[in-house]
A and B are shown apart, each in its own frame.
Chain A
Amino acid sequence: MSNVIETRNLRYRAGRNFEIRELSLNVPAGSIYGFLGPNGSGKTTTIALLMGQLRASQGSITVLGQSMPQAAPRILARTGFVPERPHLYPTLTVEEVLRYHASFYQSWDWRRADELFGRFELDRSLKLSALSKGETGKLMMLLALAQNPDLLVLDEPTDGLDPVVRRAMIIAVLDYVSQRDAAVFISSHLVHELERICDWVGVMDNGKLVAEMPMQTFKSGIKRLRVTGAPALVEDPPFVLLSRDTGETLGAGEVWVVRGWQTPMQQYFEGIGASLREVVDLDLEEGFVELLRTFRAPRAQA
């Protein structure tokens, strides 16, 4: 099995103005897959579909080699899921929640739970209603990891948490996957957080998957070029010209943002009588912003 999550042509209408459409995701086994997208792009809806909480009107979903929602119990038994909004009973204590949760999972690992307790510095006797946002986040992560999952699905797990807690949670996930061969599907709009840990990225915008590729490919191909003397109309560049802005200062040239850049393409500029002054690498966040900008731009530009 090469993909732990696979969807084909998913469609789901969430409201009059929003739908997931033609969604085909491929999450490779063993990967840490970053699911990026602005707020409201459909990340959480997609995850709810993957976890069997919503029913797609069209298309198919395979998770860990089995069909969702038909095989939901079997899939969920092997999946650690941290939802965007925790659904825990506020009147139970931390210890009670743990025992309750543990009873559902055959693969539950008390040793890992104890180890994470120490690491996260959680108090077992506290009622859930007394936990801070950060402590609730850590408890959700603990529950997901202690069930010894083959797949972790994390929906904005660190959103709104302070940097210390975020770091502790990310390290716990990394520690888990370095001990055990598991895949991680993590959604976030905090691009920088995913930049160092993910080896695959999928980008959502307005209900559609606009890009899916290895992180390195995503990061290496998008560049900002400074070009002088280029004609107003350029034909058949060897790269994808995402945007072209005339600079503010005279003589500084234009700024081009391109995708699919490779060093030998420098020669192209001589061919059109222009000169390439500078090639600047874009990081994941800048690449992400540029990608969305061009995806949303009217077709006339292309």
Chain B
Amino acid sequence: MLTQIDPRSPTPLYDQIAARIRVAIAAGELEPGQPLPSVRRLAGRLRINPATVVQAYRVLESEGFVEMRQGAGTFVREVENQRRSQERNAEAARLVRAMLTEAARLGLATDDLVTAFKHEVGASDR
């Protein structure tokens, strides 16, 4: 998690970071009580402004996903299952929308996508 961000994307960096962490919490990759990387470490690792990391953590705090404890760090909070599944669905919808936009740009029909999707899902099930 959080190894890559896209500085060229129009989505603000803090938004990208917050979204990654939100999904990681929703998917159970990050568990309640687990600490997030310190601002200093994450800023260094991603080579971004520390203020951007703080901004991302604040957004997550206001949404109830994490808790910032003065001097101790930022920790994942307990999140209801229903909320987590909502977040997973929202992320899945975002992925599909991005795929549809890209397909439209390339001139692919939605049916082609559906066929390919079924095929790939089948392939990975086998």
Interface of A with B (CB < 8 Å)? 30, 32, 167, 170-171, 174-175, 177-179, 192, 195-199, 216, 219-220, 278, 281, 283-284
Query: Using an 8 Å CB-CB cutoff, how does the interface string of B24-63 with A read, 1 for contact, 0 for none?
Result: 0000000000000001100110111111100000000000
The reply to whether A278 and B9 form a contact with Cβ atoms under 8 Å apart is: no
Complex CA–CA separation, A281 to B8 (angstroms)? 9
15 contacts between A and B (CB under 8 A): A30-B51, A174-B47, A174-B49, A174-B50, A175-B40, A175-B43, A175-B44, A178-B43, A178-B44, A192-B7, A196-B5, A196-B49, A197-B48, A199-B52, A283-B7
The reply to whether A170 and B51 form a contact with Cβ atoms under 8 Å apart is: no
The reply to whether A170 and B39 form a contact with Cβ atoms under 8 Å apart is: no
Nearest-neighbour CB distance to chain A for B104, whole angstroms, equals 10
Given contacts A178-B39, A220-B10, contact A198 B49 (CB under 8 A): yes
The reply to whether B8 and A167 form a contact with Cβ atoms under 8 Å apart is: no
B contact residues, range: 10 to 19
Complex CA–CA separation, A196 to B4 (angstroms)? 12
Complex CA–CA separation, A199 to B50 (angstroms)? 10
- Whether a CB of chain A sits under 8 angstroms from the CB of B105 is yes
Contacts of A177 in B (CB 8 A): 49-50
Nearest-neighbour CB distance to chain B for A274, whole angstroms, equals 19
The reply to whether B47 and A170 form a contact with Cβ atoms under 8 Å apart is: yes
The reply to whether A281 and B9 form a contact with Cβ atoms under 8 Å apart is: yes
The reply to whether A196 and B44 form a contact with Cβ atoms under 8 Å apart is: no
Among B10, B40, B51, the residue within 8 A (CB) of A219 is B10
The reply to whether B10 and A281 form a contact with Cβ atoms under 8 Å apart is: yes
Complex CA–CA separation, A199 to B43 (angstroms)? 14
- Whether a CB of chain A sits under 8 angstroms from the CB of B12 is yes
- Whether a CB of chain A sits under 8 angstroms from the CB of B76 is no
The residue in chain B whose Cβ has the minimal distance to the Cβ of A197 is B49
Given contacts A219-B10, A220-B10, A283-B8, contact A179 B49 (CB under 8 A): no
Complex CA–CA separation, A198 to B47 (angstroms)? 11
Among A174, A198, A219, the residue within 8 A (CB) of B44 is A174
Complex CA–CA separation, A178 to B49 (angstroms)? 8
Complex CA–CA separation, A196 to B47 (angstroms)? 7
Contacts of A171 in B (CB 8 A): 44, 47
Contacts of A198 in B (CB 8 A): 49
Complex CA–CA separation, A174 to B49 (angstroms)? 6
The reply to whether B10 and A178 form a contact with Cβ atoms under 8 Å apart is: no
- Whether a CB of chain A sits under 8 angstroms from the CB of B66 is no
Contacts of B12 in A (CB 8 A): 216
Complex CA–CA separation, A198 to B40 (angstroms)? 16
Complex CA–CA separation, A281 to B52 (angstroms)? 21
The reply to whether A178 and B105 form a contact with Cβ atoms under 8 Å apart is: no
Complex CA–CA separation, A178 to B41 (angstroms)? 9
Nearest-neighbour CB distance to chain A for B54, whole angstroms, equals 9
The residue in chain A whose Cβ has the minimal distance to the Cβ of B8 is A283
Nearest-neighbour CB distance to chain A for B7, whole angstroms, equals 4
Complex CA–CA separation, A192 to B46 (angstroms)? 14
Contacts of B7 in A (CB 8 A): 192, 195-196, 283
Contacts of B47 in A (CB 8 A): 167, 170-171, 174, 196-197
Give B1-20 interface residues, CB cut-off 8 Å to A.
Answer: 5, 7-10, 12-13
The residue in chain B whose Cβ has the minimal distance to the Cβ of A285 is B8
Nearest-neighbour CB distance to chain A for B46, whole angstroms, equals 8
The reply to whether B48 and A178 form a contact with Cβ atoms under 8 Å apart is: no
Nearest-neighbour CB distance to chain A for B49, whole angstroms, equals 5
Nearest-neighbour CB distance to chain A for B28, whole angstroms, equals 29
Complex CA–CA separation, A12 to B106 (angstroms)? 53
Q: Which 4 A-B pairs have the closest CB atoms?
A: A178-B50, A281-B10, A196-B7, A283-B8
Contacts of A179 in B (CB 8 A): 40
The reply to whether B13 and A196 form a contact with Cβ atoms under 8 Å apart is: yes
The reply to whether A174 and B10 form a contact with Cβ atoms under 8 Å apart is: no
Complex CA–CA separation, A192 to B47 (angstroms)? 12
Contacts of B9 in A (CB 8 A): 281
